[in-house]
Chain A
Amino acid sequence: MALATEELTGGVTKVILDGRLDIEGAAAIDLQMNVIAGSKKAVLVDLQKVSFLGSMGLRALLAPARAIKGRGGKIVLFAPNEMVEKVLKTSGIDTLIPVHHELESALAALA
């Protein structure tokens, strides 16, 4: 699992994940996600290149989300594939971290 970041206009930080968000993938991004969660207030997590999401991967998304929201920030998930989105919906995480498939709506949610 690779993680890259991109600063968008409006103070939004785009976190681009690439690979499997399994146990190994979650561990690979843990530190970076914690740093982002502790410093950014508007985060878009781009899931377009995430091919797999397991329960440990859910944790890797939830923990930073809790930190960001606790600091008064916002976070959204962007463009998961069909099965990844199925995991998000089954767990209910989509009710806590909104899922958007259009960039415009995702950015609007972070405004």
Chain B
Amino acid sequence: MTGNGTDKTQDRLTLRSRLSDMAQLPTWIEALASRHAIPADLQFAVNLCLEEAVSNVIRHGYDPETDLPVTVRFSMPREGYFIFVVEDEAPRFNPLDAAELPALSPGEEIRVGGQGVRLLRRFADTLEYEPTPNGNRLRMGFSTAGSAARTKG
């Protein structure tokens, strides 16, 4: 463990439940992207989904505790396919069960918030949740094949 409380081995990043610790994520993702040739648009999608998933754990699962672990693991089961798994020790909660609010639209009162689940579903190619003995595990898959579809919109 480093002095600031994070454990940063190459394929695993453990954060403490402080939003300020999320600043570790982009650098870690960038290093993985460089090592494994993750294309830029897919790297963007990973950043987006991890920010959403990890911040939800910190802000909702762990609040108000600030020294609990959120672990993000990376693996590449095959060429062009990348898995990121977020694990926590928070009370059981499946973010995929959360109602996906409709996209914002003209004529409605501007609603701040509620787009996180939508973004997860649109930017990750696969999403799987499972409870663990101590908390939750959210597995997100990203593929270079999905990358082509992402940029086409």
Contacts and interface: CB of A to CB of B under 8 A. Distances in A.
Q: Do A and B come from one complex?
A: yes
Interface of A: 20, 22-24, 52-56, 58-59, 62-63, 65-66, 69, 82-83, 86-87, 89-93, 95-96
Majority-rule SS of A interface residues: helix
A104 B106 CA distance: 23
B119 A22 contact: no
Contacts of B48: 52-54, 87
A69 to B, nearest CB: 7
Q: Tell me what chain B mostly uses at the interface: helix, strand, loop, or mixed.
A: helix
A65 B106 CA distance: 13
Contact of B104 (A69, A87, A91): A91
Contacts of A95: 103-106
Given A23-B55, A52-B47, A96-B104, A66 B116 contact: no
A66 B118 contact: no
A66 B108 CA distance: 11
A24 B41 CA distance: 21
Contacts of B122: 90
Interface in B105-120: 105-106, 110-113, 115-116, 118-119
Contacts, number: 81
14 contacts: A22-B26, A23-B51, A23-B55, A52-B47, A55-B55, A59-B112, A62-B110, A65-B110, A86-B153, A87-B119, A91-B104, A91-B115, A92-B103, A96-B110
B76 interface: no
Interface in B32-71: 40-41, 44-45, 47-48, 51-52, 55
Contacts of A52: 26, 44, 47-48
B115 A55 contact: yes
Interface residues of B, number: 32
Contacts of B47: 22, 52, 54
B31 interface: no
B119 A90 contact: yes
A30 to B, nearest CB: 12
A24 to B, nearest CB: 6
B4 interface: no
B112 A66 contact: yes
A55 B119 contact: yes
B41 A23 contact: no
Contacts of B105: 92, 95-96
A102 to B, nearest CB: 19
